[in-house]
Amino acid sequence: MNPASKSYLELLREFQRRLEAARKPAAESRWILGHAAGLSDKALAARLMQAVPPDVEEAAWAMLNLRLKGYPLQLLLGETEFYGLKLKVERGVLIPRPETEGLVEQALGYVPPEVEAQVLDIGTGSGAIALAVKAARPRATVWATDINPKALELARHNAQQLGLEVTFLEAPFTGGLGGLDLIVSNPPYLPERYREEAPPELAYEDPTALYAGLEGLDVARPLLAQAWAALKPGGWLWLELAPENIYTLLAEATAQGWREARVYRDLAQQPRYLACQKPAHSPPPPEDEEGLLVWEGE
């Protein structure tokens, strides 16, 4: 070994020290070095005492330095895992979060595997929710909308890589769909004031995927109204929201006539998911004596 060059083990230890000093998980050192060297975790472990080639060391340092500045690990690696699926990620499209796996887990309870359900993911981003639902419920017809063309391109790529059939629409909210059994959505839901206090990782995300006005409800509120029109009677809506605005939307959903409206906690015990059901028997509009519709109040 050239005395100037380091072994993989020495470089790993150096990276671990730097990451720990920056309060980031030391285990990320293995991902970074493995990615720079083009080695799996297992292959890296097998050559810890070997010298790191200079070009690999240079690439690994460049990645580490970006990471120390807060650049998300998933963007450095170009991929992430979501609900057991490997997804490509890229700048400009939200990196799927572990909380959203909890949303999928809960919502799947409303799609019996034997039913040919119609499911919509609003604001699909990388396609995470829609693809996880389709993978877990192959009989379902799954739709997904987004207003960001870059997101849709990435989501379509992920669907193709995974061999999963989802119809992606560049459209706001429900894209005019109707007769749905289930709508699942992780809309932008952070209140604007979070921009000031957000961790450095969020600076690398598309702000329109994160922030939604003063209360963080500027997307979720119209979504609630549009979901009502798109769901079948008895259909369910599952939303991910922020602990500070979820109870506001719960109250509004209840006041608007949604049934069974409830808030559920995520794994960190934060109130995170709002579920509500469109009534199975919505009262019909009032009729006059000749059976003609009578519209009141307008």
Ligand X SMILES: C[S@@+](CC[C@H](N)C(=O)[O-])C[C@H]1O[C@@H](n2cnc3c(N)ncnc32)[C@H](O)[C@@H]1O
**Shortest gap between Cβ of 297 and ligand X (angstroms)?**
28
- Minimum CB distance to ligand X, residue 238 (Å): 12
| Interacting residues with ligand X between 80 and 119 (CB under 6 A) | 94, 96, 100
User: Which of residues 60, 151, 183, 227 is near ligand X by CB under 6 A?
Assistant: 151
Dist. CA 238–CA 48, nearest whole Å: 47
Q: Which of 30, 78, 36 is nearest to 57 (CA)?
A: 36
Q: What six digits make up the tokens of 162?
A: 């995974």
Q: How far is CA 65 from CA 18, 49, 199, in A?
A: 9, 24, 17
**What is the β-pairing status of strands 141-146 and 85-88?**
unpaired
Does 76 sit near ligand X (CB under 6 A)? no
Q: Which is nearer to ligand X, 22 or 214 (CB)?
A: 214
Q: Which DSSP letter does residue 203 get?
A: G
134 CB-contact burial (10 Å; exposed 0-12 / middle 13-18 / buried 19+): buried
> What would the x/- binding string for ligand X be over residues 207 to 246, using CB under 6 A?
-xx---------x---------------------------
**CB nearer ligand X, residue 51 or residue 219:** 219
Its sign, for the CA torsion 25, 30, 35, 41, is negative
Q: Which of 34, 125, 216, 235 binds ligand X (CB under 6 A)?
A: 125
- Smallest distance from the beta carbon of 259 to ligand X, in angstroms? 25
Give the footprint of ligand X on residues 254-293 (CB under 6 A): none
**Quick check: 125 and 151 in contact, CB under 8 A?**
yes
Task: Report the interface residues with ligand X, using CB under 6 A.
Answer: 94, 96, 100, 122-126, 128-129, 145-148, 151, 172-173, 186-188, 208-209, 219
